[in-house]
A and B are shown apart, each in its own frame.
Chain A
Amino acid sequence: MREPDGRAIRFGLGYWRKPGEPAYADAMAPPHAILSVEGVCKSYGALRAVDGLTFHVAPGEIVGLLGPNGAGKTTTINMILGVLAPTAGRIEIEGIDLAVQRSRALAKTNFAAVYAPLPGNLTVEQNLRVFGLLYGVPRLSERIGEVLSAYDLTRFRNTKAGVLSSGEQTRLSLAKAMLNRPRLLLLDEPTASIDPSAARDIRAGIADFVDAGHCGVLWTSHNMVEVEAVCDRVLFLSRGKILLEGDPKTLPREHGAASLDDLFVAVAHESVQGAAAE
């Protein structure tokens, strides 16, 4: 694979960017960034799960966080959600330092992840009511009705979340994620258990919400077709570092790959080789 100027791209230990250095010039925090991640590291003993990550998400932007298993995607999302403390670095949500004003920062955030289903022993409506109170959603009953309708869950209003199909549970997680009209939306494999038709509707719904300038989105997925359709920009992570960054439509061509899928495979391959070399 080659850089746009023709020089061979170097992965792994020969990575061309110094650790912690912004991936691109535009990575300097814009004053209006919804999410600002600056030099964030997470170490577990000698293991560096995330290594000097710096990136930003602007309003109305959907940023894909891609990478093979163990690249540091979920660790990064957990740090932005405030459930994992970085070893170093700084995370700001709409200019609010997460480490200093955690509660205020998280009030502007929400998330949906396949590994965090809502409590199965509460009904759909009870779950939304509890989380609506936690996020301080005004006119909660009205808002619950809106998200139930938007995610086709109205008929499950009084059904225990635990008996929903995995696709319905994913839709419930997304409904919860949109409940407080977040400024920053974190989506970890948001359409993983959803049929293609429903997934397309959900992607369209989220894109509309973002286009209206309501929020910025950090989106992880292993579905490269989805990523290409939805994301304005992607960050390829490998062993806790940003390896590549750019427009998902042009990035494969810029690096000599036929498709985003091929680029992903190359990054994953490099990750395995790099880990073996270390």
Chain B
Amino acid sequence: MTGSRVAAIVLRQFYLLRGSPQRVLPIFAWVAVDILLWGFITRYLNAVGRAGFNFVPALLGAVLLWDFLTRVMQGVTMAFFEDVWSRNFLNFFATPLRTSEYLAGLVTTGVATSLVALVVMLVLAWAAFGLSFAGIGLAMAPFLAALFLTGIALGITGAAIVLRLGPASEWLIWPIPTLVSPFVGVFYPVTILPVWMRAVSAVLPPTYVFEGLRAIVAGRPAPWEGLAIGLALAVVFVVLACVVFAAVYRYAIRTGLIARYSAESVS
């Protein structure tokens, strides 16, 4: 892998963001609205709920972590869509650029934009609603790492779907986090799910993150074993996503999709 080629992909995204407020705003605006909305809901639930239970870390914390995962995924897919929209595949893939370098560039862009979103969410949730993860400290790292890796895996998978099915399949990509969320128990323990849904939950890394978060909020020790499983699954998901993207790329090279996406308006 060559650093300058990864840097080229990142630099392209930086140029796009620097010259375009309409691209910068969505990085943090929608997650900020989400934090405000759920912050007020939790405040209301604290007011009407039974005494002693604090909804802020349970619900607002869950929203914050889920939005972080969604932002990571969108950071990767948005960077990819910029090349779809500008029909730039031929220009890029006719250079020495390797798919691993291209993906590394997309992921680096996703990291940068999602970290900005995370900081905005943490500051807003702390300043407006008193939510703080400071008590958990460095123990938050595996939670964030599992979500971060899952977001990367979903982003790369989304890019592979669009590369395979064409630009019009973009609408399939955005709802992916929403489709996953019922299974991973963002707001409720997965034990309330039907058996078949729990089977799906067991292989999704965020399940272990949200179960862990609820355990900590309830004052129980963090389930490190479960988090380790979640992290391992997340790594497997990233590897699988890269394998899928590479396979789709080979298909695109075999069938001429790369050239067609650049030259024509295709579905």
Give B244-258 interface residues, CB cut-off 8 Å to A.
Answer: 250, 253-256, 258
Q: A119 near B: Cβ within 8 Å? A: yes
A103 to B4, CA, bound (A): 13
Q: A250 near B: Cβ within 8 Å? A: no
Chain A window 128-139, contacts with chain B (Cβ cutoff 8 Å), 1 for yes, 0 for no = 011101111000
Task: Decide if A133 touches B86 in the complex (CB within 8 Å).
Answer: no
With both beta carbons as reference points, the residue of chain A lying nearest to B23 in the complex is identified as A121
Using A115-B262, A121-B16 as known contacts, say yes or no to A131 and B91 having CB atoms under 8 A apart.
Answer: yes
Q: B92: which A residues are within 8 A, CB to CB?
A: 134
Q: B193 near A: Cβ within 8 Å? A: no
Task: Decide if B263 touches A115 in the complex (CB within 8 Å).
Answer: yes
Chain A window 106-132, contacts with chain B (Cβ cutoff 8 Å), 1 for yes, 0 for no = 110101010110111111001001110
Task: Decide if B5 touches A133 in the complex (CB within 8 Å).
Answer: yes
A176 to B90, CA, bound (A): 14
Using A83-B90, A119-B86, A120-B86 as known contacts, say yes or no to A134 and B97 having CB atoms under 8 A apart.
Answer: yes
Q: B88: which A residues are within 8 A, CB to CB?
A: 118-119
Using A78-B256, A84-B259 as known contacts, say yes or no to A126 and B15 having CB atoms under 8 A apart.
Answer: yes
Task: Decide if B259 touches A83 in the complex (CB within 8 Å).
Answer: yes
Chain B window 6-22, contacts with chain A (Cβ cutoff 8 Å), 1 for yes, 0 for no = 01100110011001100
Using A78-B259, A119-B88 as known contacts, say yes or no to A111 and B4 having CB atoms under 8 A apart.
Answer: no
Task: Decide if B4 touches A84 in the complex (CB within 8 Å).
Answer: no
Give A125-176 interface residues, CB cut-off 8 Å to B.
Answer: 126, 129-131, 133-136
Tell which of A116, A120, A122 touches B262, judged by Cβ atoms closer than 8 Å: A116
Q: A81 near B: Cβ within 8 Å? A: yes
Task: Decide if B2 touches A136 in the complex (CB within 8 Å).
Answer: yes
Task: Decide if B263 touches A133 in the complex (CB within 8 Å).
Answer: no
A210 to chain B, nearest CB (A): 20
Q: A83: which B residues are within 8 A, CB to CB?
A: 89-90, 93-94, 253, 256, 258-259
What total of chain A residues lie within 8 Å of the partner, measured CB to CB? Answer: 33
A118 to B263, CA, bound (A): 12
Using A131-B91, A134-B92 as known contacts, say yes or no to A85 and B254 having CB atoms under 8 A apart.
Answer: yes
What total of chain B residues lie within 8 Å of the partner, measured CB to CB? Answer: 34
Q: B164 near A: Cβ within 8 Å? A: no
A150 to B219, CA, bound (A): 69
B42 to chain A, nearest CB (A): 40
Task: Decide if B256 touches A84 in the complex (CB within 8 Å).
Answer: yes
Task: Decide if A134 touches B96 in the complex (CB within 8 Å).
Answer: yes
A102 to B94, CA, bound (A): 10
With both beta carbons as reference points, the residue of chain A lying nearest to B263 in the complex is identified as A115
Task: Decide if B86 touches A104 in the complex (CB within 8 Å).
Answer: no
Q: A252: which B residues are within 8 A, CB to CB?
A: none
With both beta carbons as reference points, the residue of chain A lying nearest to B2 in the complex is identified as A136
Q: In the complex, given contacts A116-B90, A131-B8, what are 18 additional A-B residue pairs having Cβ atoms less than 8 angstroms apart?
A: A78-B256, A81-B90, A83-B259, A85-B254, A102-B98, A103-B96, A103-B97, A115-B90, A118-B91, A121-B20, A131-B95, A133-B4, A133-B5, A133-B7, A134-B95, A134-B96, A135-B95, A136-B96
30 interchain pairs, CB-CB under 8 A: A44-B256, A78-B256, A81-B90, A81-B94, A82-B93, A83-B89, A83-B253, A83-B258, A84-B253, A84-B259, A85-B254, A106-B96, A107-B96, A113-B90, A116-B94, A116-B263, A119-B86, A121-B86, A122-B12, A122-B15, A122-B16, A126-B12, A130-B11, A133-B5, A133-B8, A133-B11, A134-B5, A134-B92, A134-B96, A135-B95
Shortest 9 CB-CB contacts between residues of A and residues of B: A133-B8, A81-B94, A134-B95, A119-B86, A115-B263, A107-B96, A103-B96, A83-B258, A116-B90
Partner-A contacts on B (CB < 8 A): 2, 4-5, 7-8, 11-12, 15-16, 19-20, 82, 86-98, 250, 253-256, 258-259, 262-263
